[in-house]
């Protein structure tokens, strides 16, 4: 008897009792779909993190200097020198001065807009491009000009797309808009989003800030994979200056992303593990039903044996039936999992823009493999029981 025939026989038996087969499969369906949704959620979160980090640039280091009293400090020239001295590791640098003031356009006051003072190199470092006008230039920084580049949200919403040359008020000062950033979000822009921003020369911004001191820098590294080495270079320099490791903080975006990803993965692993328990429960359900089925079909087994079925054929028939039931459950679970993932995506993306549930092919193939494997494992015992039945007893079984 060929394997394909055993398979067809299994399909026939499964079709003969649809309701029971479906109920048997339910555990597997739930388990597989749960695993798929959870792994999909993990992927979605990872992608989301990657997306938002790549906005910030995974090749960047963020340096914050808290300082230590007033005795020691690091000037911007020293930071620039540090970068220049390590050309193999560090690429560019820009002081970053964040202002928390509100923006005023005409009489409209916007408090969610991100206002950042940066150098002329910043746009290049972050791969930002302007869609109109120009980016900030060295003369803007050195002359502390009151100019700025605005995000496309402000441009479209308040200037009708013609922001260049117009003015905007920051902290009571009037700034001339020299450029508009290219839109970064794919869909609709919103207040407080990535396109709701203003960039001005850091020298100007430093004067407007509360402390008047530049305490944050953004650096880019030559090679992302060398992020750790770059962090060490900057840290050791700052340590030599301050002799206190609490006086500064250096964060590598690549490392931060890695740390976050591994955290997400551990969480997803735990959740998927819990979901996988239901697969085991499902497997036991299959075993249970197969045992009942063996008892119910004792006579059939006796007839088949009398007609010349060897033990391994009977064994094969039941194992294949269990595996087919389970694999079928796996396929349904995959379908349900995908369905739930797309419904889930609608829900989570409404809560957090850009967050999706995206099941991976690997998870799907894995789920299918596991469900088939479960069928074989849990089908083995009932199949063995069936194969061992004595044909005489089985023939007289009612």
Partner 1 sequence: MSALIEFQDVSKVYEMGDSVVRAADHISMQIQKGEFVAIVGQSGSGKSTCMNIIGCLDVPSSGTYLLDGQDVGKMNKNQLAEIRNKMLGFIFQQYNLLPKLTLLENVEVPMMYAGVSRSDRRERARVALEMVGLGSKVNHRPAQLSGGQQQRVSIARALVGEPAVILADEPTGALDSHTGREVLSLLQQLHAAGNTVVLITHDNSIAVQAQRIIRLEDGRVIYDGDAHAPEAVVSPNLAGTGGGQ
Question: What residue ranges bind partner 1 (CB under 8 A)?
Answer: 1, 5, 12-13, 16, 299-300, 302-313, 391-392, 395
Please, what is the minimum distance in Å from the beta carbon of residue 312 to partner 1?
A: 8
Cα–Cα distance for residue pair 295/289, rounded to 1 Å: 10
Please, what is the minimum distance in Å from the beta carbon of residue 308 to partner 1?
A: 2
Residue 14 or 28: the one with the smaller Cβ distance to partner 1 is 14
Cα–Cα distance for residue pair 151/112, rounded to 1 Å: 13
**Mutual orientation of helices 361-388 and 311-351 as an angle, nearest 10°?**
150
Neighbour count for residue 200 (Cβ, 10 Å): 29
The count of C-alpha atoms lying within 13 angstroms of the C-alpha of 99, restricted to the half-sphere facing its C-beta, is 26
Cα–Cα distance for residue pair 215/249, rounded to 1 Å: 11
Cα–Cα distance for residue pair 136/177, rounded to 1 Å: 10
Cα–Cα distance for residue pair 13/195, rounded to 1 Å: 61
Task: Say if residues 182 and 152 touch (Cβ distance below 8 Å).
Answer: yes
Task: Say if residues 356 and 48 touch (Cβ distance below 8 Å).
Answer: yes
With H, G, I as helix, E, B as strand and everything else as coil, classify residue 115. strand
Neighbour count for residue 43 (Cβ, 10 Å): 20
Residue 61 or 309: the one with the smaller Cβ distance to partner 1 is 309
Please, what is the minimum distance in Å from the beta carbon of residue 269 to partner 1?
A: 44
Residue 346 or 392: the one with the smaller Cβ distance to partner 1 is 392
With H, G, I as helix, E, B as strand and everything else as coil, classify residue 173. strand
- DSSP element (H, E) containing 241: helix 227-242
Please, what is the minimum distance in Å from the beta carbon of residue 28 to partner 1?
A: 24
With H, G, I as helix, E, B as strand and everything else as coil, classify residue 66. coil
Task: Say if residues 228 and 252 touch (Cβ distance below 8 Å).
Answer: yes
Please, what is the minimum distance in Å from the beta carbon of residue 307 to partner 1?
A: 4
Residue 126 or 297: the one with the smaller Cβ distance to partner 1 is 297
387: tokens are: 């194969």
Residue 67 or 391: the one with the smaller Cβ distance to partner 1 is 391
Residue 20 or 50: the one with the smaller Cβ distance to partner 1 is 20
Please, what is the minimum distance in Å from the beta carbon of residue 22 to partner 1?
A: 18
Please, what is the minimum distance in Å from the beta carbon of residue 368 to partner 1?
A: 28
Please, what is the minimum distance in Å from the beta carbon of residue 392 to partner 1?
A: 5
Cα–Cα distance for residue pair 73/124, rounded to 1 Å: 28
Please, what is the minimum distance in Å from the beta carbon of residue 396 to partner 1?
A: 9
Residue 1 or 174: the one with the smaller Cβ distance to partner 1 is 1
Residue 229 or 303: the one with the smaller Cβ distance to partner 1 is 303
254: tokens are: 């690549």
């Amino acid at each position: 008897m060929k394997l394909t025939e055993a398979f067809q026989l299994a399909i026939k038996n499964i079709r003969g009792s649809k309701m029971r087969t479906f109920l048997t499969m339910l555990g597997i369906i739930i388990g597989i779909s749960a695993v798929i949704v959870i792994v999909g959620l993990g992927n979605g979160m990872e992608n989301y993190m990657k997306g938002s980090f790549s906005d910030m640039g995974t090749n960047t280091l963020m340096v914050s200097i808290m300082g230590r009293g007033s005795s020691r400090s690091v000037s911007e020239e020293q930071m620039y020198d540090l970068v220049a001295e390590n050309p193999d590791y560090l690429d560019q640098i820009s002081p970053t001065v964040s202002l928390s003031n509100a923006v005023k356009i005409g009489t409209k006051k916007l408090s969610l807009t991100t206002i950042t003072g940066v150098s002329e190199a910043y746009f290049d470092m972050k791969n930002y491009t302007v869609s109109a006008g120009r980016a900030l230039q060295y003369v803007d920084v050195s002359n502390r000009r009151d100019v700025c580049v605005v995000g496309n949200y402000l441009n479209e919403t308040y200037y009708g797309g013609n922001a260049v040359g117009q003015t905007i008020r920051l902290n009571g000062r009037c700034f001339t808009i020299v450029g508009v950033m290219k839109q970064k979000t794919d869909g609709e822009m919103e207040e407080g989003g990535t396109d709701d921003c203003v960039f001005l020369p850091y020298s100007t911004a430093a004067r407007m800030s509360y402390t008047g001191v530049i305490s944050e820098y953004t650096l880019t590294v030559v090679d992302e994979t060398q992020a750790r080495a770059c962090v060490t270079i900057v840290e050791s320099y700052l340590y030599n200056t301050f002799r206190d490791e609490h006086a500064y903080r250096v964060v590598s975006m690549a490392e931060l992303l890695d740390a976050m990803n591994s955290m997400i993965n551990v969480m997803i692993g735990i959740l998927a593990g819990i979901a996988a328990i239901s697969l085991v429960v499902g497997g036991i359900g299959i075993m249970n039903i197969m045992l009942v089925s063996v008892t119910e079909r004792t006579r059939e087994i006796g007839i088949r044996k009398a007609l010349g079925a060897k033990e391994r054929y009977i064994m094969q028939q039941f194992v294949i039936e269990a595996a087919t039931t389970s694999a079928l459950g796996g396929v349904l679970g995959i379908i349900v999992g995908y369905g739930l993932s797309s419904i889930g995506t609608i829900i989570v993306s409404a809560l957090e823009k850009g967050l999706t549930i995206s099941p991976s092919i690997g998870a799907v193939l894995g789920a299918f493999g596991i469900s088939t494997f479960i069928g074989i494992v849990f089908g083995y015992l009932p199949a063995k029981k069936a194969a061992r039945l004595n044909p005489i007893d089985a023939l007289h079984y009612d």
